[in-house]
A and B are shown apart, each in its own frame.
Chain A
Amino acid sequence: MRKLFWVATLALGLAAGSIGAEARSVRWAASGDPNTLDPHSQNVGTVSMVLQQIYDTLISRTQELGLAPGLATRWEQQEPNRWRFWLRDGVKFHEGEAFTADDVVFSVTRALAPTSNYGIYVDTVERAVQVEPLVVDIITKIPDPILPNKIASVFMMSRSWSEKNNAARPQNTRQREEMHTVRNTNGTGAFRLTAREADVRTVMTRNNDWWGWKEETSREANITEIVFRPIASDATRIAALLSGEVDFVLDPPLQDLNRLRQAQNIRVLEGPEVRTIFLAMDVHRDELLYSDVKGRNPMRDLRVRQALYHAIDIQAIHRTTMRGQSVVTGTFFPSQVNGYVKEEDVRLPYDAARARALLAEAGYPNGFEITLDCPNNRYINDEQICQAIVAMWARVGIRAKLNAMPLAPFFAKIQRDDTSVYLLGWGVPTLDALYSFQSLVATRNGAQGDGIWNYGRYSNPRMDELVQRMKTQSGEPRMEAIREALRIYREDVPHIPLHHQMIPWAMRSNLTIPHMANNQPYFRWARMN
């Protein structure tokens, strides 16, 4: 009898124990798959959405995208050109190495390497120096007040592991052999990589030693395993969620949201993304490409740009094409970005009659022909937005031809400056206005970062001056520069802003995860019941 009692107790104990350690596996799907797991090789969302589960940064993001201690517990601008970081003690990489200042020096140097795609986050950095085993300095070439915002995107790797595996530089396709970091990781993060089959599945398991589990935001978190599967087809991705084959879909198609909202056991989280969709126009050439206007460039005339702007019924696009999932805007970055000014976020109103009048005034009473270049697999409903705009322009006499292309040929085309109008979406990972001004409306002058995505070749000396001030100044003078630059942007109409994207996430209702404006799910904060 007693024996039986013990057996029963043992069985109960075992059962209880197994409940405590029950595997909470979250099956996550998105349309794209990371094309590498190298931490400094590809600066794109599909890569970082996986990497940030595995690697930590010196400075973390809060759920509101603010800055929070990460591998550094505090930081300070000790001199104009020197930032100091005090590192967290006792952190270990997944393969057991202790995390030290030397690893920071290594990681920053690696991000600076020519093969790195993370250059924009360290563009002002000269070098990093170890001060003490857990104190490190980053020396900048010019005073950089927003370095912490940028360094929050640079993943920290282990020097000994990287050097042992011949991965001291970021992976580059020039190498005739596959690099270790393409499929292997060794971070300090909340999850460690356990399986990786490109295009098929990526499995990560909980790193129980992670320093952050003690933080308040992660105390409720209970995910023990993440299984990520890319599903490119919209219909299949939704079918998989509805039939319970996946728990979390990062990018549900807008047209399916209603159905998902009504479905049992499915929850849709909505929130804004830090990404703005706009049209940019060639304001540089003397003769517009792909047009029947010869010998001049109508886009250089402010009235024509205003007419194209007035012709767009953005509310119709918001309601129908975006199904309410957009924030209509009159400027080119959203309110989460440092430097946003509400007074400058004003659109030219939809007014087809005014558009026609402006065109006539500019000498084009019968409109003219142009080609609108548009990606068809990059932004939410990009091609449909362009189709709608072409129809709206047709009503004021602009005969636009739509040239919708996949991402690859589209970028290739606009990067040759081979375009007269194009649609682009711009995200701001640093959450600071400079990133947008510098890349999109500064004159392209060969300097790192300036005007590199300014394919309409807008150029305004005053704007360039203001961008230089944004780079080095801080406080109110900097804000002053941003405010003036925003006003010039609104008045000069180098772009026709459309909206900030909203990014709905869809999931089984037993999953709880904070919605993030950078479109990155942080499973360290997720809970599954």
Chain B
Amino acid sequence: MAATLRRFFDSDLWWSFTRSPITMLSALVALICILGAVFAPWIAPHNPFDLASLNLLDAFKPPSWTEEGEAQYLLGTDDQGRDVLSAIMYGARVSLLVGLSATLFATTLGITLGLLAGYLGGKLDALLMRICDVQLTFPSILVALLIDGVVRAALPREVHDQIALFVVIFAIGISEWPKFARTVRGSTMVERNKEYVQAARVIGVAPPRIMLSHVLPNVLGPVLVIATLNLGLAILSEATLSFLGVGVPATQPSLGTLIRIGNDFLFSGEWWITIFPGVTLIAMVLSVNLLGDWLRDALNPKLR
């Protein structure tokens, strides 16, 4: 463990990290967002889901530093008297959960299919790549809208509400896998013909094992870059779906839902209801994107 750590701190990656203040700043922002979201149930000042604790008389309180603000509501309250800060923490939780799960899903699917296509080639390869081609022309947001719509139509509403979160994760994930599959397939085809793989094959190592232990490690770098950049995209997709009103159910508001609700109050002077979730969303996505950008440059020495 210690050795691994030492190796990490000695690595180019760490060196390049310490040389880039913007990257360190975005890592910090991302970390705060993640910690705030993960530990929301324990550190959030209020529980916005506890209906019995809500009081309509507390609605529309401005942030605490303004004249009419109250200390217990740091970022003010919304139209139902919910604490905006707590709502953001719980909302970021949903946004991150959806973004991470969707990306994980897309990555797993993309790697598996990419490895298969690249290693086995032939008809399977042709078929998978055609599907990739076609799907890449369809913007992911439209694919997600489509899938969400199909599920919405096929299931009764009560059932749909219970699994809505999974539907959104699936819809966003499935619309992003081709990027991973393409990259992995390309690298796999290169690796497959290298001598060490040929050698492993000759001595009778099973193909799944070859793929996992020899080919996979060599494609992980680009995959990591795409995954990071994709995380930002997935969070935005979820926000857009929720803004259009077809994302996660309103009982589990994500940042996108909060922005949609708050948007109605933007012109009436109750700006804090939408601006703070909006700023959080932007900060989260921006920091993830900056990290992804840095990772790409750091892992691709050619660009330096």
Nearest to A290 among chain B residues (CB) is: B158
For residue B79, which residues in chain A have a CB less than 8 angstroms away from its CB?
Answer: 255, 320-321, 384
A147 to B157, CA, bound (A): 43
B199 within 8 A of A: no
A349 to B51, CA, bound (A): 22
Contacts A235-B267, A255-B264, A256-B267 given; indicate if A388 touches B52 (C-beta within 8 A). Answer: no
A320 to B77, CA, bound (A): 12
A212 to B292, CA, bound (A): 70
A445 to B57, CA, bound (A): 44
Q: CB distance A404 to B250 under 8 Å? A: yes
A390 within 8 A of B: yes
A258 within 8 A of B: yes
A518 to B254, CA, bound (A): 38
Q: CB distance A391 to B269 under 8 Å? A: no
Q: CB distance B80 to A384 under 8 Å? A: yes
Q: How far is the CB of B163 from chain A (nearest CB, A)?
A: 15
Nearest to B79 among chain A residues (CB) is: A384
Specify which of A242, A320, A371 is in contact with B59 (CB 8 Å cutoff): A320
B251 within 8 A of A: yes
For residue B266, which residues in chain A have a CB less than 8 angstroms away from its CB?
Answer: 235
For residue A242, which residues in chain B have a CB less than 8 angstroms away from its CB?
Answer: 267
Q: Which residues of A233-258 have CB atoms within 8 Å of chain B's CB atoms?
A: 234-235, 238-239, 242, 253, 255-258
B263 within 8 A of A: yes
Specify which of A239, A392, A402 is in contact with B251 (CB 8 Å cutoff): A402
For residue B60, which residues in chain A have a CB less than 8 angstroms away from its CB?
Answer: 320
Specify which of A235, A259, A290 is in contact with B269 (CB 8 Å cutoff): A259
A369 within 8 A of B: no
Contacts A321-B56, A391-B56 given; indicate if A239 touches B267 (C-beta within 8 A). Answer: yes
Please, what's the 1-or-0 string for A326-350, where 1 marks a CB less than 8 Å from any CB in chain B?
Answer: 0000000000000000000000000
A380 within 8 A of B: no
For residue B250, which residues in chain A have a CB less than 8 angstroms away from its CB?
Answer: 402, 404
Q: Which residues of B34-74 have CB atoms within 8 Å of chain A's CB atoms?
A: 51-52, 54-57, 59-60
A142 within 8 A of B: no
For residue A392, which residues in chain B have a CB less than 8 angstroms away from its CB?
Answer: 56
Specify which of B56, B263, B267 is in contact with A313 (CB 8 Å cutoff): B56
For residue B59, which residues in chain A have a CB less than 8 angstroms away from its CB?
Answer: 320-321
For residue B264, which residues in chain A have a CB less than 8 angstroms away from its CB?
Answer: 234-235, 253, 255
Q: CB distance A316 to B56 under 8 Å? A: yes
For residue B157, which residues in chain A have a CB less than 8 angstroms away from its CB?
Answer: 403, 405, 409, 413
A317 within 8 A of B: yes
For residue A321, which residues in chain B have a CB less than 8 angstroms away from its CB?
Answer: 56, 59, 79
A394 within 8 A of B: yes
Q: CB distance B56 to A320 under 8 Å? A: yes
A291 within 8 A of B: no
A143 to B57, CA, bound (A): 52
A387 within 8 A of B: yes
Specify which of A235, A391, A394 is in contact with B263 (CB 8 Å cutoff): A235
Contacts A235-B264, A239-B267 given; indicate if A320 touches B51 (C-beta within 8 A). Answer: no
Knowing that A255-B264, A257-B268, A313-B56 touch, tell me 6 more A-B residue pairs with CB under 8 angstroms: A239-B267, A256-B268, A316-B57, A320-B81, A387-B80, A403-B158
Which 10 A-B residue pairings sit nearest by Cβ, starting from the closest?
A394-B51, A255-B268, A316-B56, A394-B52, A391-B54, A391-B51, A256-B268, A320-B59, A320-B56, A395-B52
